[in-house]
Structure 1
């Protein structure tokens, strides 16, 4: 990504962002007695996040810097069919609202820390819990790898190669680990507020600058595309439409049960705060993904004829043009690209914190040393997180797949945990054995399709087919399992909405 403002200005802004993030980590941890001795305090901010912090940390969980630099080029290549990116993000909110309020109430009553605390509580099965831990850690590991690769490319691009890819990753991973160690979830949430605000403003200014550059309104842009590249303005064919619906299911159910997203549900100070945050999140798909889509569409007119590799540089190319308008646009673009880097880091820190919490509470606390103190568990999680990052850094030097392929593989497996939440929270008859076999068969089937290169069948993703098989096994298997009246009564009490 060649930026006109790369080099000294980029280094200054990135250094400023790094200093601010470290300062936030320090302030978040200062005066918090027992922060590093409590799982809830360190990993969930004491379950006391207010509406502003909760909204922005949910926003950062759903939207990464990759949303900006990745979705606009896709809109450039695919044209208007990439409108699907807006309902992608909208359906996630709908999925949250289907289970989050009920899960929050139960988590408050039972003092959950990680997503698999719910799995353990609901199914009382070691096999189900271990399989869920594996699938969730797999999803988190893939997601973190994706962010580490993106950090390296973004920083190297913004500094004009002055900071090489490898050193960029190491430097900002160090910054991330430092402020996360200092302030835990509270530090992560407050850095999310900072980068979220700058990212929103930057996207609006980038779009305004792009419209200024084309010297026409969006109607003229649409007419230009219809005349010059009609395929990008045409209605999608049947298989593409089916693929849309498949992706909506995959992303909707998969992203809603991201472990770091579930932990933000636990972190809300009240059910009312949680619902108000989601109500505001419902406006974000058109405000964020929608504007990024428009940027990509305008890019077709501004930079016609780019090949796939060239289109990947679209946001940087457009930012260069916008930055050249005047000094105000220049510095907004500098801040904007700094915010993209910060947003990627912010997503990475959320993933790492969740990964660390599952190592400390689920792996170490439940199976390695059940009698360990919470302080010891937190320490294990921190060290385990560093080891995991070190392994992923080694992989990141030579990324094994494109970011999109990593993205798809992540959801294909993670989505198999969804029935344990969406069915388990409402259907008292759902039994542990069918859930285990449903998850296992669905994951194996989805993984096999992905690894053999057969990602879709008639436009339907392997993960969605695996999820269908998974749900079928859960439902049929649970009906075939006898459940006593007493067990049903106990399950009703478990799933009650009383705190």
Structure 2
């Protein structure tokens, strides 16, 4: 295997920066002091984050191992189809502007901590809220697993680069244990405050890495045209053009993912932490800047063809750790084989904590759902009891997420796309609920059940996130959502014909009015 530029200096830089990251994580418990025995203080940072803190937090929320590892790996392994991530990111922030300020307003006025809190009052249904909470938790687990995959990829490249002998599989298992211990301590101690501080640090490292790499690496290899011209002729077509048969798949992936992103509990959680609706709107309007970085990171999947040593390393590792796991090393390998040792340490720790921070935020978000909308529906808890249970459950959910690493084969991006199939089914009660309460609660519940069961069933039937149709392959999330909306619409129509009249504990004016 070709020798990387990773050495003892790389390791020293990595460890020093990681130690500072750990310090920030624990220091978060004392930063902007609040009573962390209250769930909204631990899980929403007291709703006191301003424009740039929310911007960094949401960047940490959304700029994850999906961006650093999964998209470049899928682009390298499959081709231009997975460049769908670029328009998806552009579209999703428009959806966020239409929904999150409304949800923030009613949540602040009513004291809601989760979207399921809102759904419960909007449609007068504890069971609908329970279903929304379950969907959010189950959908988030594969997304947390994706962060674990990203961290594992970084540590694998670091250890391989140092030339440490031993089983890579064993090393990966050890790296997972380390990641879980860090995450558990990090989230239990400081909650969203620690995630915010470390998110600022993580984003600073990542932006530095992306800007320097995308300038220095093409210059070092002679330009992007060298990478494109180095692609084998048998594979050139999958990178240079989008085959007509994949156009529907590309469009449906972008649309389905855009709908899904702000239904994930971690995205909602980050939005609700803002200090005001105006500042939430401003921070959300600035988030497309992160899309620029995504474009460049995706291109690492092409750039690697201009770096023979990095490409050779991935090919050498494929028989050992598997083709898809080796593809996950694209970004770490490109950097490790081209950049100086000190910079590699900065980049690798940035990508590593780029998995840790989002995983912490995700665990916090689903812990909030669990204690508020599952346990809390059957056994009322004190404020301290809610917070304590949420802290422990944040650790439990990280271990549960590990199962998805082994249960879902294929490229890492499949983990995120599977989560998208599930979480998209919460769109009617959450997004549509922000605009109308005239949907019948049992019809909404039936629609979600049909949507989730059909989505997961189709995924395992086809062994893919796509369903073949006469007009091309379609992302299963949209197929399942269509069934969901049909059931909801028909059920609501039948209810109206039977004499049902909508009622709600949340009036439209309470969603629209400012704080």
| TM-score, with structure 1 as normaliser | 0.89
Aligned to 1:291: 296
What are the within-5 Å matches in structure 2 for residues 79-478 of structure 1? 79-160=79-160, 164-216=171-223, 218=224, 230-232=236-238, 234-285=240-291, 287-303=292-308, 309=323, 311-323=327-339, 329-367=340-378, 369-370=379-380, 372-393=381-402, 395=403, 398=406, 400-402=408-410, 403-453=412-462, 455=464, 456-458=467-469, 459-478=473-492
CA RMSD of aligned residues (A): 2.8
**157 and 235 in structure 1: CA distance in 2 versus 1, 3 angstrom threshold:** closer
Aligned residues of 1:429 and 1:479 also touching (Cα < 8 A): no
Q: Distance in 2 between matches of 1:30 and 1:208?
A: 39
Larger mean CA deviation between 101-110 and 143-152 belongs to 143-152
**408 and 65 in structure 1: CA distance in 2 versus 1, 3 angstrom threshold:** closer
Q: Distance in 2 between matches of 1:278 and 1:57?
A: 11
**102 and 15 in structure 1: CA distance in 2 versus 1, 3 angstrom threshold:** same
Aligned residues of 2:450 and 2:484 also touching (Cα < 8 A): yes
Q: Distance in 1 between matches of 2:449 and 2:502?
A: 29
Larger mean CA deviation between 478-487 and 346-355 belongs to 478-487
**389 and 221 in structure 1: CA distance in 2 versus 1, 3 angstrom threshold:** closer
**25 and 144 in structure 1: CA distance in 2 versus 1, 3 angstrom threshold:** same
Which SS does the other structure have where 2:122 is aligned? helix
Which SS does the other structure have where 1:322 is aligned? coil
Q: Distance in 1 between matches of 2:109 and 2:21?
A: 33
Aligned to 2:167: none
**399 and 15 in structure 1: CA distance in 2 versus 1, 3 angstrom threshold:** farther
Q: Distance in 1 between matches of 2:108 and 2:2?
A: 49
Deviation at 1:321, TM superposition (A): 3.0
**203 and 2 in structure 1: CA distance in 2 versus 1, 3 angstrom threshold:** farther
Deviation at 1:96, TM superposition (A): 0.8
Deviations 1:211-264 (Å, cap 9, x if unpaired)?
A: 112224x45655666978541355323331100111112211111111011011
Aligned to 2:30: 30
Size of the aligned set, in residue pairs, is: 489
Deviations 1:61-115 (Å, cap 9, x if unpaired)?
A: 1111342233223333445454322112112212211211111111110111122
Deviation at 1:400, TM superposition (A): 4.9
Q: Distance in 1 between matches of 2:7 and 2:400?
A: 30
Deviation at 1:198, TM superposition (A): 0.7
Aligned residues of 2:145 and 2:405 also touching (Cα < 8 A): no
**301 and 26 in structure 1: CA distance in 2 versus 1, 3 angstrom threshold:** closer
What are the within-5 Å matches in structure 2 for residues 58-77 of structure 1? 58-77=58-77
Q: Distance in 2 between matches of 1:378 and 1:488?
A: 28
Q: Distance in 2 between matches of 1:7 and 1:321?
A: 12
Aligned residues of 2:404 and 2:415 also touching (Cα < 8 A): no
Deviation at 1:461, TM superposition (A): 2.0
Aligned residues of 1:64 and 1:344 also touching (Cα < 8 A): yes
Q: Distance in 1 between matches of 2:508 and 2:430?
A: 15
Aligned residues of 2:42 and 2:191 also touching (Cα < 8 A): yes
Q: Distance in 1 between matches of 2:511 and 2:8?
A: 57
Deviation at 1:3, TM superposition (A): 7.5
Which SS does the other structure have where 1:257 is aligned? coil
Deviation at 1:414, TM superposition (A): 1.0
Q: Distance in 1 between matches of 2:428 and 2:147?
A: 27
**225 and 3 in structure 1: CA distance in 2 versus 1, 3 angstrom threshold:** closer
Q: For structure 2, which runs of at least 5 residues remain unmatched after alignment?
A: 165-169
Which SS does the other structure have where 1:37 is aligned? coil
Aligned to 1:326: none
Deviation at 1:396, TM superposition (A): 7.1
Q: Distance in 2 between matches of 1:233 and 1:398?
A: 29
Larger mean CA deviation between 314-323 and 427-436 belongs to 314-323
**398 and 312 in structure 1: CA distance in 2 versus 1, 3 angstrom threshold:** closer
Q: For structure 1, which runs of at least 5 residues remain unmatched after alignment?
A: 324-328
The answer as to 2:487 corresponding to 1:479 is no
Q: Distance in 2 between matches of 1:342 and 1:249?
A: 28
**186 and 31 in structure 1: CA distance in 2 versus 1, 3 angstrom threshold:** closer
**133 and 80 in structure 1: CA distance in 2 versus 1, 3 angstrom threshold:** closer
Q: Distance in 2 between matches of 1:31 and 1:319?
A: 34
Q: Distance in 2 between matches of 1:341 and 1:62?
A: 15
